[in-house]
Structure 1
Amino acid sequence: MLLDTPVRLGVQIAPQHVTYPQIRDAVLRLEEMGVDILFNWDHFFPLSGDPEGLHFESWTMLAAWAEQTERVEFGALVNCNSYRNPDLQADMARTIDHISARGGEGRFIFATGSGWFERDYTEYGYEFGTAGSRLNDLADGLARIEERWQKLNPAPTREIPVMIGGKGEQKTLRLVARHADIWHSFVAAEELPHKLEVVERWAEKEQRDLSRLVVSNELHRRSQDDADELYAAGTRLFTLNFSGPDYDYEIVRSWLRWRDAKNG
């Protein structure tokens, strides 16, 4: 089912407890180091540490990264479908795609999910609903986003890659089969074969070819032995959480060396 693609390393710069100049400098340094993808996250408050600490919004930051960077792909890990009208999300993604293009294709990845952090909803005035209702909204939103991309003038510079996070077998993995180019999860290596079988069954129902689906997973609190097992199970995109203000670039270097060894 899966195409054997090169290993890529994505680094998620946590937009919390740091100033924006610190984030800007981290983006520059990580691109120079050779990271493949840069991510932030789509929340309005810190997810750890002081809940009232420094924090910045995702999409405005991504537009700045589109202009600042030259090579890396980038996106949110992941966007929350609930916070913005789907057609607006499509237009924002298309615009950032164009900003990031350097005489060719853009570099934006539309990574999205149904949302989970209740404080974001309650303090910003969104209806929290239930896990099921938020997934239903995501299904409706993805269809509208893909339709809007076909109508925008100018069109996106490329077919913007869609990345979907989650592992639920009845709804989330069906959305992966229907829409995703990249599937992101935190599942262990021993779980991956079963989850991929579920995705493949849904793909047959959706009549969609997933031979180019990229499997993504998280490196946080995992060893290189764990990463080797995930690689053997089909994972090719590995994401690393990167938190400041005391950024540890040596951890990134070690994972870049591991990536390069895997790619021979």
Structure 2
Amino acid sequence: MTDDPRPIRIGLQLQPQHADYADIRRAVAAAEEAGADIVFNWDHFFPLYGEPDGKHFECWTMLGAWAEATSRVEIGALVTCNSYRNPDLLADMARTVDHISDGRLILGIGSGWFERDYDEYGYEFGTAGSRLNALGEALPRIRGRWHKLNPPPTRDIPVLIGGGGEKKTLRYTAEHATIWHGFGDAETITHKNAVLDGHCRDIGRDPAEIERSCAVEGAPDEYGQGLYDAGVRLFTVGQDGPAFDLGRLRDWIAWRDERNAG
């Protein structure tokens, strides 16, 4: 994937914790103005770090608001937990936000992992295997529902699958996704990309159809080239509240612009 001709894109994951919604809304507007390509939130019910009972907001309600509050950036969850919503309902929610945003939604989805969410909201946690199996069953249902809805989505909604499991998650990515989102250093991403490419070949799909995405920390001068050479074209910076300092995001945007111009 090192010769992927796609331009570099920069995403921001605005983690909806430890902040008032007004702070989150201002950060979304600032990220769009700064030139981010995508703004993500996440799909949890409690903070993942910091004060465990701190301020937190729900994912998809927020995406509907972002669809109205923004005009250019793509939006989505990094990632939706498949366990929390019936797949057909989730498909309808995604179609609705797709229309509200005039075709700027990315459906990010994964199998789920944060046990407190499940326990406090009454979902069956099960096992990693059972949650992955449920994701595999949900993905074709989601796409099938999109074909039944009136009106249908405004476009073929991009599906982003997050996770690095080599036997199931990456196979589902080959079968259903247009973006794969992973974590780790360049060596890890290179290995995972090779596994994903293998799954694509097994089912007769061109691996180049799947954009490779990665969470990034630190400065682009330190990490950008290695991850680029590993095949990453979507680099996503994480930022939690309440301050939402977008300085690192702006550094990655400047790096994107310099690289894409060259």
TM-score (norm 1): 0.95
Kindly state the Cα deviation for residue 247 of structure 1 after the two structures are TM-superposed. 2.2
1:22 alignment counterpart: 23
Q: Deviations over 1:204-252 (max 9, x none)?
A: 2222233221100011246532221001111000000111212222222
1:194 alignment counterpart: 191
Tell me the distance in 1 between the aligned counterparts of 2:202 and 2:238: 35
Q: Deviations over 1:9-52 (max 9, x none)?
A: 10011101100011111111111111100000000000111111
SS in 1 for 2:208: coil
Tell me the distance in 1 between the aligned counterparts of 2:150 and 2:14: 32
SS in 1 for 2:207: coil
1:100 alignment counterpart: 101
SS in 2 for 1:70: coil
Q: Deviations over 1:157-185 (max 9, x none)?
A: 00000000111111111011101100000
1:178 alignment counterpart: 175
- Contact 2:10/2:235 (CA < 8 Å) preserved in 1? yes
Tell me the distance in 2 between the aligned counterparts of 1:12 and 1:224: 20
- Contact 1:3/1:213 (CA < 8 Å) preserved in 2? no
1:241 alignment counterpart: 238
Tell me the distance in 1 between the aligned counterparts of 2:158 and 2:83: 20
2:153 alignment counterpart: 156
Tell me the distance in 2 between the aligned counterparts of 1:75 and 1:143: 19
SS in 2 for 1:11: strand
Tell me the distance in 2 between the aligned counterparts of 1:254 and 1:204: 36
SS in 2 for 1:211: helix
Tell me the distance in 2 between the aligned counterparts of 1:22 and 1:257: 24
Q: Deviations over 1:109-134 (max 9, x none)?
A: 00000000000000000000000100
Runs of 4+ deviating beyond 3 Å: none
Q: Which runs of 5+ in 2 are unaligned?
A: none
Question: Across the two proteins, how many residue pairs are aligned to each other?
Answer: 260
1:136 alignment counterpart: 133
Tell me the distance in 2 between the aligned counterparts of 1:184 and 1:150: 25
Partner AA of 2:254 in structure 1: R
Tell me the distance in 2 between the aligned counterparts of 1:213 and 1:188: 19
- Contact 1:3/1:212 (CA < 8 Å) preserved in 2? no
- RMSD, matched Cα: 1.2
Tell me the distance in 2 between the aligned counterparts of 1:153 and 1:207: 31
Tell me the distance in 2 between the aligned counterparts of 1:94 and 1:50: 34
Partner AA of 2:7 in structure 1: P
Q: Which runs of 5+ in 1 are unaligned?
A: none
